[in-house]
Amino acid sequence: MRSRQQIESRQFLFDRRFWKFPPELLIYSLLQMKNGIQMRQTYQVLFLDSFKFSAYIVKCGQIERNRMDKISDIFKRHYGYAALRDLKQAGIHTDTIRKLLDDRVIEKVKPGLYRLADMPMVGHQGFIDICLAAPKAVICLLSALDHYDLTTFRPSIVMAALPRDSKPIKIYYPPVQFFYFSGVYYYEYIEEIRESTGIFRIYSIEKTVIDCFRFRNKVGQDTAIEGLKNYLEKKEMNMAKLHECAVKGRMWNIIRPYVTAVMQK
């Protein structure tokens, strides 16, 4: 039997005139017909999607409303994400979390980490999810090559680097393949990119090109060569940085014939 404390959620199109109000201040009333009797149900707005003009509303009494305010605040403070420990510290019961998962209001990124299921998506949301779920992850290889527009190949999974001594990490979404780098191959040339929903770490464009040659048996020789040629044709190409990365990665002798061929054209 359904407990009175359990919540009911649904998604609906939201009137545009309400966008000036914070979601946590909005209460939405619906008229419903039950057994031929018109009944009014009150819902708390949990999350507004300004891209789709829709919202998640949660059926609640005053106790549930206070709880949903807490949940909304936690996700809002962390750009649409929440850790299980933060939810528990706020007094949110695991039954409530499970119900939000079942209703697809939130989704699991990895054990102990959740995100709003319908949060606005930015171009690199998958990168942000991975770097949040694995704090030492750095976007690399084909994913980084695609980010820098150096390849026509579109990877179906996110490729990310971790230190060689890292323990395996189970991530539910997005699909990811981890590569374990050692020493300077991992720690150098890391850049941080901040977007509206978070931060992701990625290797510099020069290191990405060199790493694709280091892992050419994984990404493909043709793809590595394509990335190098496209980089050398960019106006912002920096031969000094490329040479430095190639020497440190012990790849200069491998890429030099291709560099010479492109530069002589």
What pLDDT is stored for residue 129 in this prediction? Answer: 86
Is 207 among the domain residues?
Answer: yes
| Residue 197 · residue 116 · CB < 8 Å | no
**Residue 252 sits in the same domain as residue 132:** yes
Claim: this prediction has a pTM higher than 0.75: no
Number of domains in the chain: 2
Is 2 among the domain residues?
Answer: no
What pLDDT is stored for residue 64 in this prediction? Answer: 56
Is 1 among the domain residues?
Answer: no
**Residue 86 sits in the same domain as residue 136:** no
d(CA 157, CA 174): 7
**Residue 86 sits in the same domain as residue 111:** yes
d(CA 10, CA 118): 12
**Residue 109 sits in the same domain as residue 131:** no
d(CA 71, CA 67): 6
What pLDDT is stored for residue 76 in this prediction? Answer: 74
Residue 145 structural domain? 125-263
pLDDT, tens digit only, all 265 positions of the chain: 344 334 344 444 444 444 444 444 344 444 444 444 444 444 444 444 444 434 444 444 444 556 677 787 788 777 677 888 888 888 888 888 888 888 777 888 878 888 877 665 555 888 998 998 899 999 999 999 999 999 998 888 899 999 999 988 888 778 899 999 998 899 999 999 998 778 999 999 999 999 999 999 999 999 999 999 999 999 999 999 999 999 999 999 999 999 999 888 7
Which residue, of 93, 116, 139, is where some domain finishes? 116
d(CA 106, CA 110): 12
Is 138 among the domain residues?
Answer: yes
**Residue 69 sits in the same domain as residue 160:** no
**Residue 93 sits in the same domain as residue 139:** no
The dihedral through the CA atoms of 200, 206, 207, 209 has a sign that is positive
Is 55 among the domain residues?
Answer: yes
| Residue 24 · residue 77 · CB < 8 Å | no
What pLDDT is stored for residue 215 in this prediction? Answer: 96
- pLDDT tens digits for range 71-127: 877 887 776 778 888 888 888 888 888 888 887 778 888 788 888 776 655 558 889
**Residue 137 sits in the same domain as residue 70:** no
